[in-house]
Structure 1
């Protein structure tokens, strides 16, 4: 398949415009994170993926106050910094022999 230089430039321009549109959408989505006190909030699904735990374990962390949470419109959210703190705390726990 042969295309001339002008046609190639037109196609490349179209591709670059689509990349620009995708970039704008990604940037807009990143700005839509829910925040509280200037900190990013994440939902149950995100926490489960970060910690690689079951939903039951996450419920146990909530009920034992190991992980603070917020209820907004009936949905649970967690501060990302609290999740990171939970991870740090789990590394500092003494191991049982």
Structure 2
């Protein structure tokens, strides 16, 4: 076991403080990310039936818009 000297203690404390500073920066960055709205909060998703009713179009027209790239879609489970 090494003898604890003032220099060893100061070196050890410096390492501890550096680690605490890194943890503080990490926590602040995580807190800032919490304030940003997530994708699910900023984008509303509709299923086929709801979107057809909202746009007053048929399911085939909706599929045509998707195929042309006019509408973004995502498959969740078996729903489009």
From the two aligned structures, give the one with the greater strand fraction: 1
Give the TM-score range, shorter chain: 0.3 to 0.5
Q: How high is the TM-score relative to the length of structure 1?
A: 0.40
Q: Which of 1 and 2 has greater Rg?
A: 2
- Higher share of residues assigned helix: 2
